[in-house]
Amino acid sequence: MLRLITPLTLSAMLLAPLAQADCADEQAWCETKCEVKHMTDDAAVSGCKSKCIAARAACSTQAGAETAWDATKEAAKDTKSFFKGLTE
């Protein structure tokens, strides 16, 4: 069963946190820009930060989807190889 974890699947699992870290950095930078741009208007800062949160959610979703897609492609390849080995 452990043999099903291939190097590509493992690397995809390890890269997911890196992608999420990029999303966090982008959100932090976005929020900093909001605070500077709307320095004297707390309501505007809150509205701007809401856009940053939405962008973070989209970024995290995309990063997760890419990781899942890579793992799915590798699993399909492994399944094909399994049946090749089984039938030969």
pLDDT score, position 25: 94
Long-range own/partner contacts, residues 47-53 (CB < 8 A, 24 or more apart): 52/27, 53/27
With residues binned 3-state (H G I as helix, E B as strand, rest as coil), the percentages for the chain, rounded to 5, are 90, 0, 10
Secondary structure (DSSP) of 11-40: HHHHHHHHHHHHHHHHHHHHHHHHHHHTTT
Q: How far apart are CA 20 and CA 14, in angstroms?
A: 11
pLDDT > 50? residue 10: no
pLDDT score, position 61: 86
- Indicate the average pLDDT of the chain: 77
Using only the alpha carbons of the chain, give its radius of gyration. Answer: 20
The pTM assigned to this predicted structure is 0.55
pLDDT > 90? residue 84: no
pLDDT band for position 20 (cuts 50, 70, 90): low
pLDDT (tens digit per residue) in 24-73: 999 999 999 999 999 999 999 999 999 999 999 999 888 877 777 777 77
Q: How far apart are CA 10 and CA 33, in angstroms?
A: 36
